[in-house]
Amino acid sequence: MGKVKPGPLARRPDNSAFKQQRLPAWSPMLTANTVLPFFYFMALICMLLGVWLLLTVQSTEELKLDYTEAGTCNLCFEKRKNVSNAAQPCICTAVFNIKKAFKGDVFFYYGLINFHQNLRRYMDSRDDAQMVGRKNNLKSPSSYCMPFDKNKNGVPIAPCGAVANSIFNDSFTLSYMASSGSVHVPLLRKGISWYTDKNIKYRNPSTENMTLPQVFEGTAPPLYWQKPVYDLDPLDKNNNGFINDDLIVWMREAAFPNFKKLYGVLHRANKPFVNGLPAGNYSVEISYNFPVQYFRGRKEVVLTTLTWFGGQNHFLPIAYLVTSCLIQLIAILLTVFWFKFGKNGQNMEE
Amino acid sequence: MAVNENADRPKAVRLRGKDVNAESSLKWPELYRSGQRQELSSPLILISSLLYAVYSSLVFFFIPFGVFHNTAYDFQTMAVTVAMAATFTANVEISLVTRYWTRLNVAAVCVSVVMFFICSRITHSTSLFKASPGDYFFLGASNRAFIDPLVWLTALLTTWTAVLPSMTALAINVIFNMHDKHKVHSASSQPVELRSRLRRGASLRRSSYALSQGAGPGRLISSGTCIRSTVPTVDEQVTADNNPTDSQLQINMKNK
């Protein structure tokens, strides 16, 4: 506050540029000559972007195989309708054909249709403090996980919650039918999760001198799991517990009911996969565990190449092109209005 | 958010405009005509604000929905995309209404956008996550989202589509009306003579001074003042003619 000036003008505001609104200001001169070219320019930009993105997307290859009831998976589909068969394994095979070779890195995804991972109550049903490795949360999971926090014997569940409980547990083995016979397609299954997830968000409780199963003593696996959390990957000891890559990928909830999640990347070290996937017949052997008929869902396998823009996503280029057409239409309408009314008005004033 | 901003339109217009001095006010009475006619809080304006809010909500959802549907992108990346689009849209809307760009206005817009990115990075950071994993579970989302071209392209398209009606309205306004506002502030002050017939009794036609001293827009809307016509009814016209209270005022404004 400034000094108090006595007299009738005591409460007058300061004579500063800010308070007397004398700040230097720029005022845009908006006339038809600036506005109309702006609309045409934006329409042009949207069109160029749309065309460029469309060309980029056209260069990707994608193959989707819905294997819910395909091939011999029909029998597994029937088997999984019965809950009492849940512990029994079921292996099935589906075949597909690639017409054009996939050049470059090939990404193998599993996809689910009609599985709402974005349901609010489902997304809340997890305990991030437990999965970051806090010991007291390990044995006493948060109440958000209910009813998946303790099993019927009162033993706490690790990892708790509906998200972990519903983990996708199908596994795939891809084979290429070359002329010399069936060749196993190697998939890299490491590094499929985010760096921050794998190293910060999900941590096993500190082991000290104990082994991982000993750390998890006193907890039970989730109700729908066949294996306990410390034994998720028998081949790689470092991929067990809460830091298991498949678990981490599943726990990152998808935005919409139809989604896909990364399963593996083609390992391009050896022939014939050095340049990608060659054209031909392929078969995928599936260990079919995840039941989808309860929510009328479908399961699929997606093989795709990626560009800087992602996979085969036609929506964005088309949206840009549609927007550019719309703006073009608006710009033309405005130009017509200007010729009919605006220009005449100007002439009349003068 | 859009409804809130548009409901307080008179205040919004005041904040972004500039005051006019007394001589200029007398010279250009059309400047306060919109207040007298209560144009800014008329039902048409309210309904169009509501419709615009509904339209922009639909745009903010359906364009990211179309892009991220059936992809490997997760919920948190989509959330960051929509937040970016909303921030950009709000700033563009403010920029469209601002007529006088002082350094403060430019700074406000820039700071708003920059603060969005900074605050996102802070709330998605490791230290906050470690302090409370249950609350700050967006760890790592902005790391990947802010460098992903798909996220940026989606946010820009959503912003542009959401802002399109306002831009079109502005363009139509520019084309149909030639604004003389530049003359308003650059004219030199000259002696002005005010002649008016003050008619007492026409209570529905309120001067802008009365409007500014009276109830705010909320009260105007809830009491239905703005819905009543500002044209005096036949009875009031007759009353006014029977009681002519002519007072002709002459005011000479001297140069300061």
Coil, strand or helix: which one is B244?
coil
pLDDT more than 70, % of chain B: 58
The residue assigned the tokens 């404004």 is B253
Please report the pLDDT score of residue A82 as a whole number: 87
Give the number of A-B residue pairs with CB atoms closer than 8 Å. Answer: 155
A112: nearest CA in chain B?
B70
For the ranges A6-15, B48-57, B99-108, the maximum mean pLDDT occurs at: B48-57
Of the residues B21, B71, B148, B177, the best mutation for testing chain A's interface (the one with the most A CB atoms within 10 Å of its CB) is: B71
A201 contacts on B by Cβ (under 8 Å): 129, 133, 137, 139-140
Determine whether the interchain pair A132/B133 forms a contact, defined as Cβ–Cβ distance below 8 Å: yes
Determine whether the interchain pair B160/A42 forms a contact, defined as Cβ–Cβ distance below 8 Å: yes
Domain map of chain A by residue range? 34-60+319-336, 64-306
Coil, strand or helix: which one is A131?
helix
Please report the pLDDT score of residue A21 as a whole number: 76
String of DSSP letters for B84-95: HHHHHHHHHHHH
Q: What is the DSSP letter of B189?
A: P
B140 → closest Cβ in A127, A194, A316: A194
Determine whether the interchain pair A256/B65 forms a contact, defined as Cβ–Cβ distance below 8 Å: yes
Determine whether the interchain pair A196/B77 forms a contact, defined as Cβ–Cβ distance below 8 Å: no
Instruction: Give the closest-approach CA distance of A339 to chain B in angstroms.
Output: 10
Positive/negative CA dihedral, A124, A126, A129, A132: negative
For residue A194, give the amino acid letter: W
Within a domain: B207: no
Please report the pLDDT score of residue B217 as a whole number: 63
pLDDT at A348 over 50: no
Q: What is the DSSP letter of A343?
A: H
Determine whether the interchain pair B134/A129 forms a contact, defined as Cβ–Cβ distance below 8 Å: yes
Residue A322 exposure: Cα atoms within 13 Å on the Cβ side = 10
Q: Is B42 exposed, middle or buried (0-12, 13-18, 19+ CB in 10 A)?
A: middle
pLDDT band at A207 (very low <50, low <70, confident <90, very high): confident
Residue A314: partners with Cβ closer than 8 Å, 6 or more residues away: A54, A57
A22 contacts on B by Cβ (under 8 Å): none
Instruction: Give the closest-approach CA distance of B220 to chain A in angstroms.
Output: 29
In angstroms, the CA B21 to CA A162 distance is 66
Q: What is the DSSP letter of B29?
A: G
B18 contacts on A by Cβ (under 8 Å): 21, 25
A28: nearest CA in chain B?
B99
Nearest residue to B151 (alpha-carbon basis) of B104, B108, B117, B109: B117
Please report the pLDDT score of residue A150 as a whole number: 92
Within a domain: B156: yes
Instruction: Give the closest-approach CA distance of A35 to chain B in angstroms.
Output: 6
B149 → closest Cβ in A254, A308, A323: A308
Please report the pLDDT score of residue B209 as a whole number: 72
Of the residues B14, B75, B176, the best mutation for testing chain A's interface (the one with the most A CB atoms within 10 Å of its CB) is: B75
In angstroms, the CA A62 to CA A303 distance is 6
Instruction: Give the closest-approach CA distance of A342 to chain B in angstroms.
Output: 5
pLDDT band at A52 (very low <50, low <70, confident <90, very high): very high
Residue A262 exposure: Cα atoms within 13 Å on the Cβ side = 24
pLDDT at A210 over 80: yes
Positive/negative CA dihedral, A158, A163, A165, A168: negative
A326 contacts on B by Cβ (under 8 Å): 164
A337 contacts on B by Cβ (under 8 Å): 172, 175-176
Question: What's the Cα-to-Cα distance from B38 to each of A329, B31, B211, B229, B235, rounded to whole Å?
Answer: 33, 13, 9, 10, 22
B136: nearest CA in chain A?
A128
Q: Beta strand A259-266 with A62-66: parallel, antiparallel or unpaired? A: unpaired
Determine whether the interchain pair A311/B72 forms a contact, defined as Cβ–Cβ distance below 8 Å: yes
In angstroms, the CA B190 to CA B158 distance is 49
Contact in structure between A105 and A305 (CB atoms under 8 Å): yes
Phi, psi at residue A244, to the nearest 5°? -65, 130
pLDDT at A11 over 90: no
pLDDT at B36 over 90: no
Nearest residue to A219 (alpha-carbon basis) of A234, A233, A229, A210: A229
Determine whether the interchain pair B178/A345 forms a contact, defined as Cβ–Cβ distance below 8 Å: yes
pLDDT band at B40 (very low <50, low <70, confident <90, very high): low
Within a domain: B30: yes
Determine whether the interchain pair B70/A260 forms a contact, defined as Cβ–Cβ distance below 8 Å: yes
pLDDT tens for A100-142 read 999 999 999 999 999 999 999 999 999 999 999 999 999 999 9
- Of B29-33, B55-59, B167-171, least confident by mean pLDDT is B29-33
Nearest residue to A131 (alpha-carbon basis) of A144, A119, A118: A144
B17: nearest CA in chain A?
A21
In angstroms, the CA B139 to CA A129 distance is 13
A310: nearest CA in chain B?
B150
Q: What is the DSSP letter of B254?
A: P
- What number is the average pLDDT over the span B109-137? 94
| Peptide bond just before A272 cis, omega within 30 deg | yes
A21 contacts on B by Cβ (under 8 Å): 18-19
Please report the pLDDT score of residue A309 as a whole number: 86
Please report the pLDDT score of residue B227 as a whole number: 53
Please report the pLDDT score of residue A310 as a whole number: 85
- Of A260-264, B64-68, B187-191, least confident by mean pLDDT is B187-191
pLDDT at A60 over 80: yes
Instruction: Give the closest-approach CA distance of A261 to chain B in angstroms.
Output: 5
Residue A86: partners with Cβ closer than 8 Å, 6 or more residues away: A80, A224, A226, A291
Phi, psi at residue B15, to the nearest 5°? -65, -35
Determine whether the interchain pair B170/A255 forms a contact, defined as Cβ–Cβ distance below 8 Å: no
B71 → closest Cβ in A21, A27, A313: A313
ipTM of the complex: 0.90
Contact in structure between A111 and A127 (CB atoms under 8 Å): no
- Of A186-200, B32-46, B134-148, least confident by mean pLDDT is B32-46
HEC profile of A78-127:
HHCCCHHHCCCCCEEEEEEEECCCEECCEEEEEEEECCCCCCHHHHHCCC
pLDDT at A2 over 60: no
Structure tokens at A290: 């995840």
- Of A201-210, A316-325, B52-61, least confident by mean pLDDT is A201-210
The residue assigned the tokens 């802002």 is B163
- What number is the average pLDDT over the span A37-51? 94
pLDDT tens for A146-196 read 889 999 999 999 899 999 999 999 999 999 998 889 999 999 999 999 999
In angstroms, the CA B30 to CA B28 distance is 5
- Residue A24 CB: number of other CB atoms within 10 A? 9
A349 → closest Cβ in B69, B149, B178: B178
HEC profile of A194-262:
CHHHHHHHCCCCCCCCCCHHHHCCCCECCCCCCCCHHHCCCCCHHHCHHHCHHHHHHHCCECCCCEEEE
Contact in structure between A94 and A70 (CB atoms under 8 Å): yes
What's the whole-model pTM score?
0.82
Determine whether the interchain pair A109/B178 forms a contact, defined as Cβ–Cβ distance below 8 Å: no
pLDDT more than 90, % of chain A: 71
Q: How many domains does chain B have?
A: 1
Coil, strand or helix: which one is B101?
strand
Rounded-to-5 percentages of helix, strand, coil across chain A:
35, 20, 45
Within a domain: B62: yes
Determine whether the interchain pair B139/A127 forms a contact, defined as Cβ–Cβ distance below 8 Å: no
pLDDT tens for B242-254 read 444 444 333 433 4
Determine whether the interchain pair A258/B70 forms a contact, defined as Cβ–Cβ distance below 8 Å: yes
B72 contacts on A by Cβ (under 8 Å): 109, 259-262, 311
pLDDT tens for A289-317 read 999 999 999 999 999 999 998 889 999 99
Instruction: Give the closest-approach CA distance of A178 to chain B in angstroms.
Output: 30
Boundaries of domain holding B154:
22-184
B69 → closest Cβ in A117, A258, A334: A258
Q: Is B161 exposed, middle or buried (0-12, 13-18, 19+ CB in 10 A)?
A: buried
CA B168 to centroid of chain Cα atoms: 15
In angstroms, the CA A107 to CA A307 distance is 11
Q: Is A218 exposed, middle or buried (0-12, 13-18, 19+ CB in 10 A)?
A: exposed
pLDDT band at B181 (very low <50, low <70, confident <90, very high): very low
Question: What's the Cα-to-Cα distance from B203 to each of B32, B198, B199, B233, rounded to whole Å?
Answer: 18, 12, 10, 11
CA A24 to centroid of chain Cα atoms: 49
B157: nearest CA in chain A?
A320
Contact in structure between A128 and A201 (CB atoms under 8 Å): yes
Determine whether the interchain pair A345/B176 forms a contact, defined as Cβ–Cβ distance below 8 Å: yes
A309 → closest Cβ in B101, B149, B171: B149
In angstroms, the CA A230 to CA B216 distance is 65
